[in-house]
A and B are shown apart, each in its own frame.
Chain A
Amino acid sequence: DAGITQSPRYKITETGRQVTLMCHQTWSHSYMFWYRQDLGHGLRLIYYSAAADITDKGEVPDGYVVSRSKTENFPLTLESATRSQTSVYFCASSRNNIQYFGAGTRLSVL
């Protein structure tokens, strides 16, 4: 089916480990985004990308790395996971100013 697919849906890891969250879209939208959602903070932008090989920091980029070698993929990597990165992560793409969200990845860092 067309849309945005995030994987894995659930992930448990330990502090200090590297974790990569995957995001794939089938629409070829230029803009893609990574958010985290936490109780009390709402949705916060981590990184975004305007096109392949163009990425920029959002509100809370520390501890995260992104890449976008192909238009359809926008992986998010936690270089050395910390407990404070326990959260629900959402990927989104945008066309005509409307953002379309994936189902999310629930990450727990123990």
Chain B
Amino acid sequence: KQEVTQIPAALSVPEGENLVLNCSFTDSAIYNLQWFRQDPGKGLTSLLLIQSSQREQTSGRLNASLDKSSGRSTLYIAASQPGDSATYLCAAPSGAGSYQLTFGKGTKLSVIP
């Protein structure tokens, strides 16, 4: 059974800092991994989808990496802004070839002006 862990559960940084969010998963027979953002009281928004054939995926100030051999993914946020404050969740397929996702519990990020 896939298990996804995100550490830390909460993170507070001053504005302008670069930061890394961590995600680990137990079943490395996956073909992709997704990072989502969730604002309070809202649904999830997909930020990045990394295919297993890729090592990295970039969107603006966000860069996600995937290392299947170690069961880890990271989300790098450059030059953080107060508007980046949200909960970030990673999700991996529940099994090889599965369309179901297993989610981590998220990292709540606060960027202090």
The answer to whether B42 and A50 touch across the interface, beta carbons within 8 angstroms, is no
Closest residue of chain A to B103 (Cβ to Cβ) is: A43
Which chain A residues in 30-73 approach chain B with CB under 8 Å? 31, 33, 40-43, 45, 48, 50, 58
Interface residues on A, range: 20 to 34
Chain A residues with CB below 8 A from B32, complex form: 97
Closest residue of chain B to A102 (Cβ to Cβ) is: B43
Interface residues on B, range: 20 to 34
Q: How far is the CB of A88 from chain B (nearest CB, A)?
A: 9
B34, B42, B49, B104: the one within 8 Å of A42 (CB): B104
Q: How far is the CB of B2 from chain A (nearest CB, A)?
A: 11
Q: A48-B100, A98-B49 are in contact. Are A104 and B42 (CB under 8 A)?
A: yes
Q: A31-B99, A58-B100 are in contact. Are A103 and B43 (CB under 8 A)?
A: yes
Give residues in B with beta carbon < 8 Å to A: 31-32, 34, 36, 41-46, 49, 89, 91, 94, 99-101, 103-106
Known pairs A41-B105, A97-B99; list 15 more (Cβ under 8 Å). Answer: A4-B43, A42-B105, A45-B100, A50-B99, A58-B100, A90-B43, A92-B44, A99-B91, A100-B46, A101-B36, A101-B43, A101-B44, A102-B43, A103-B42, A104-B41
